[in-house]
Amino acid sequence: MIFDLVAAPFFEFAFMRRALVGCLALSLGTAPVGVFLLLRRMSLTGDAMAHAILPGAALGFLVAGLSLPAMTVGGLVAGLAVAVSSGAIARLTALREDASLAAFYLISLAAGVLIVSVHGSNVDLLHVLFGTVLALDDAAILLIATIATFTLVAIALIFRALVMECLDPQFLRSVSRLSSPVHFIFLLLVVLNLIGGFHALGTLMVVGLMILPAAAARFWTEEITAMIAIAMIVALTGSVAGLLLSFHLSLPSGPAIILIAGAICVASMLAGPVGSVLAARLPRPHLEA
Amino acid sequence: MTPSALLLPRALLLRAVLLVAAVAGMATGWAGTLLADPPVKAVASFSILADMVGEVGGERVKLTTLVGPDGDGHVYQPTPADAKAVATATIVFVNGLGFEGWMDRLVESANFTGPLVVASKGVEPLAVGGGASGEGADAHAGHGHGEIDPHAWQSLENGKKYVRAIADALSEVDPAGAGVYRANADRYLADIEMLEQEVRASIAALPEGRRSIVTSHDAFGYFARAYGLRVLSPEGVSTESEASAGDVAALITQIRKEAIPAVFMENITDPRLLEQIRRETGAVMGGTLYSDALSEADGPAPTYLRMFRHNVQTLTQALSS
């Protein structure tokens, strides 16, 4: 019975196995990136960057058709251009980083919509640009797995600096010249994971798999490593449960996955042990002592 | 006017002559364009309908097509140029049956008050998934039920109804050309009739067990019912909906169970999902069908009739091999 509900779909259908592998790989990469976005109060940066990628992916499609490398490279270039230029403007001028990012991503988004519209009174390019998790081919899975691997290795390498940037960016800047490179590497990871997610989740919902697990994990622990682990578990749970929901109830898979992660997030906000609605109302033993 | 005025300024006289010449020139120019200008300015919502309007209207109709070749009419976003074309049109043709969801707003915002002709008005509407034997219900659990399938032109019988509706509407706005429209329509209807015989014959030649196909979006319901094929598809009737894992799994199970021989791509949809299904079922990729839009002029399906012939040839080739 439970086997039928949970495991049989994956044994019976190759596309379900591919979707599962794709989502698992994606979750491993997006969860830690999401946690650092959250801790650095940059949660909306993910959303902004997701839009910033659009014109690059669109150009890639226009040049090379439905080609994974062209669309990936295009998205990467556009995303990095926005990340680097907004970071540079923030450091060189009076404009704060959030404002300069907003400016550049809006420019990029407008360019993307323009490209899409000029090309496509034709096929709805947005549908073509963003794949669906049910149609992952080998190349897309390899791309997502490579991005996840790269993300984990990179985060391990710059972990200490990243944590310090979260806690006290001024301090890091004063004791080390690593601040700027770390920041850019981190933005690179954000862009890479968003691109991997586009191929898997379709539309802009990949941002959900980045932010929602991190936001949920925030209510379970205050320790960063544990938070990353919990975020990964939430993302993995959302992926598996969402796919099964999509399978058994015939719901579109992308939204199903994100909504499960969202439900876990809301439940954590209400009843998680750290800083949730419930936790705030309970008496705090360590203050009584 | 004094005699001296008449004598004096030759420059003035010259100017007057020039002015008269210019006015005369303009007048003849107008007359020229009036004669060359077709009396009816028509707008058609998408390429297939536009081809039909062009066949019936001939030289008397200046035609603007909103969604061009290889374009997706379900999710089109009109441009200001479209609004301008609609605003200055004598008559606007749409498919109806919910195909062009964006059309009502466009007509309203362009302040178009002329006749809006729904070409499918004589057609008996078909519910989504109501193909040859209702088998689509399985693959479509969860969406599309009770919705009307707008792809009525995929049956030549309906195509004839479209042509008659177009001829009637054109005759109404341009009574002087009624004879021309009638003649064009009759010639065109005869062509359609001939093609219909051909289509029925070639599908009848298929072996009984090889009349099921899979396409990427559910556009062949009318085709299936008219010619006795079964057509399954992972996406709902509109290209807007996203496929669910349950639908895809049901489709794969069905393809395996019934040993459906071929899957077909469409010119307007994303081929990746279909490719995944093909890989998993071992069906062959039968080729590209034209469902919602014609191809460019140099493609295999530049007109309604050639599109239909191409689709049937592609189908029968894959199914009989």
Whether B41 contacts B90, CB under 8 Å? yes
The Cα A85–Cα B271 span in angstroms is 36
Characterise B53 by phi-psi region: left (phi > 0), alpha (psi -120 to 50), beta (else).
Answer: alpha
Residue type, B64: T
Structure tokens at B208: 């009984």
Average of pLDDT values for B211-235? Answer: 83
Highest mean pLDDT out of B54-58, B73-77, B292-296: B54-58
Restricting to A residues 57-86, those with a Cβ less than 8 Å away from any Cβ of B are 66
For residue B80, being part of any structural domain is answered with: no
How are strands ordered across the β-sheet holding B262-266? B230-232, B212-215, B262-266, B284-289
Mean pLDDT comparison of A95-99, A224-228, B9-13, B253-257, highest-scoring range:
A224-228
Q: Is B176 helix (H, G, I), strand (E, B) or coil?
A: helix
Alpha-carbon torsion (A5, A11, A13, A19), positive or negative: positive
Please report, as a single letter, which amino acid is at residue B202.
Answer: S
CA distance B304 to B290: 10
Task: Please list the residues that pair with B94 across neighbouring strands.
Answer: B118
For residue B272, the chain A residues in CB contact (below 8 A) are: 66, 131-132, 135, 137
The CA angle B312-B318-B321, to the nearest 5 degrees, is 125
Residue of B70, B269, B280 lying closest to A13 (CB–CB): B280
Lowest mean pLDDT among A158-162, A180-184, A207-211, B4-8: B4-8
Which of A138-142, A198-202, B163-167, B291-295 is most confident? B163-167
Q: Is a pLDDT exceeding 80 seen at residue A151?
A: yes
- Residues of chain B contacting A251 with CB distance shorter than 8 Å: 142, 244, 246
CA distance A172 to A163: 10
CB under 8 Å to A267, separation ≥6 — which residues? Answer: A216
Give the residue on A whose Cα is nearest the Cα of B235: A252
Nearest residue, CB atoms, B246 vs list A137, A246, A255: A246
Question: What residues are paired with B148 via a beta bridge?
Answer: B127
Mean pLDDT across B155-161: 94
**Residue A233 and residue A27: Cα distance in Å, rounded?**
8
Confidence of residue B31 (pLDDT cuts 50, 70, 90): very low
Return the pLDDT at A3.
Answer: 81
- Nearest-by-Cβ selection for A247 from B77, B245, B270: B245
State whether residue A22 sits within 8 Å of chain B by CB: no
* Nearest beta carbon to residue A122 from set B71, B240, B244: B71
Q: Do A66 and B271 touch (CB under 8 A)?
A: yes
- A252 inside 8 A of chain B by CB: yes
> How many pairs of residues across A and B have Cβ atoms under 8 Å apart?
106
A114 inside 8 A of chain B by CB: no
Quick check: A29 and A143 in contact, CB under 8 A? no
What CATH number does residue B216 fall under? 3.40.50.1980
Any domain includes B256 = yes
Whether the CB of A4 is below 8 Å from some CB of chain B: the reply is no
Are A251 and B279 within 8 A, CB to CB?
no
- Please check whether residue B314 lies inside any domain of the structure: yes
Q: Is B27's pLDDT higher than 70?
A: no
Q: What is the pLDDT of residue A251?
A: 86
141-200 in chain A: CB under 8 A from chain B: none
- CA angle, corner A274, sides to A270 and A276, nearest 5? 25
Integer Cα distance of B235 and B247 in angstroms: 8
B30, pLDDT greater than 60: no
B245 falls within a domain: yes
- Rounded mean pLDDT of B223-232? 87
Q: A7-11, B82-86, B109-113, B141-145 — which is least confidently predicted?
A: B141-145
Residue with more model confidence, A201 or B239: A201
Report the pLDDT value the prediction gives residue A53, as an integer from 0 to 100: 86
User: Given B71, B72, B246, which is nearest A248 (Cβ)?
Assistant: B246
Q: Which residue has the higher pLDDT, B9 or A71?
A: A71
> What do you get for the CA distance between the two ends of chain B, in Å?
93
- Containing domain of residue A53, as a range? 2-288
Task: Tell if the CB–CB gap between B245 and A131 is shorter than 8 Å.
Answer: no
Q: For residue A181, what pLDDT is reported? A: 85
Quote the Cα angle for A52-A55-A60, to 5°. 130
Average pLDDT rounded to a whole number, residues B168-189: 94
At A227 the pLDDT is: 95
Contact A123 B268 (CB under 8 A): yes
Cβ neighbours of residue B24 under 8 Å, at least 6 residues apart? none
pLDDT tens profile A82-135: 988 888 888 788 888 788 888 988 898 888 878 776 765 445 556 656 667 888
B214 within some domain? yes
pLDDT surpassing 70 at residue A288: no
Cα separation of B237 and B224, whole Å? 14
Please say if the pLDDT value at position B168 is more than 90: yes
Q: For A34-69, what is each residue's pLDDT tens digit?
A: 999 999 888 888 888 888 888 888 888 878 777 788
Q: From the CB of residue B271, how many other CB atoms can be counted at a distance below 10 Å?
A: 17
Q: With respect to residue B210, please indicate whether it lies within any of the assigned structural domains.
A: yes
Mutate to test the interface with A, among B248, B256, B265 (most CBs of A within 10 A): B248
Q: In chain A, what residues touch B76 (CB-CB under 8 Å)? A: 121
The answer to whether the Cβ–Cβ distance between B76 and A14 falls below 8 Å is no
DSSP A220-279: T-S-HHHHHHHHHHHHHHHHHHHHHHHHHH--BHHHHHHHHHHHHHHHHHHH-TTTSHHH
Average pLDDT over residues A222-247: 94
Instruction: Tell me the two tokens of residue B142.
Output: 């969860």
Which of the residue ranges A240-254, B23-37, B184-198 would you say has the lowest mean pLDDT? B23-37
Q: How far apart are CA A200 and CA B8, in angstroms?
A: 87
- What is the total residue count of chain A? 289
CA distance linking residue A119 with residue B68, whole number of Å:
12
Residue with more model confidence, A1 or A11: A11
Q: What is the pLDDT of residue B2?
A: 47
CB-based burial of residue A95 (10 Å sphere; 0-12 exposed, 13-18 middle, 19+ buried)? middle
Instruction: Give the mean pLDDT of A236-252.
Output: 91
Specify the pLDDT at position B10: 60
Q: The domain that contains A151 carries what CATH number? A: 1.10.3470.10
* pLDDT at A149 exceeding the cut of 90: yes
Mean pLDDT of chain B: 81
Output phi, psi for B178, to 5 deg. -55, -40
Radius of gyration, alpha carbons of chain B? 26
User: What's the mean per-residue pLDDT of chain A?
Assistant: 86
Residue B217 covered by a domain? yes
Q: What is the distance between the alpha carbons of residues B259 and B302, in angstroms, rounded to a whole number?
A: 33
Segment B237-264 shows an average pLDDT of: 78
Number of domains in chain B: 1
Chain A residue with CA closest to B144: the answer is: A250
Is B139's pLDDT higher than 80?
no
- Which structural domain, as residue segments, surrounds residue B284? 205-320
Q: Are A164 and A175 in contact (CB under 8 A)?
A: no
**Beta B126-127 vs B40-46: how paired, if at all?**
unpaired
CA–CA separation, A6 and A247 (whole Å)? 10
Q: How far apart are CA B217 and CA B264, in angstroms?
A: 10
From chain A, pick out residues whose CB is under 8 angstroms from the CB of B247.
250
Closest partner residue to B239 among A14, A127, A252, by Cβ?
A: A127
Partner residues linked to B126 by β-bridges: B149
Alpha carbon distance A221, B110 (integer Å): 58
Count structural domains, chain A.
1
Confidence band of B85 (pLDDT split at 50, 70, 90): very high
The whole-number average pLDDT for the span B294-319 is 91
Please say if the pLDDT value at position B219 is more than 80. yes
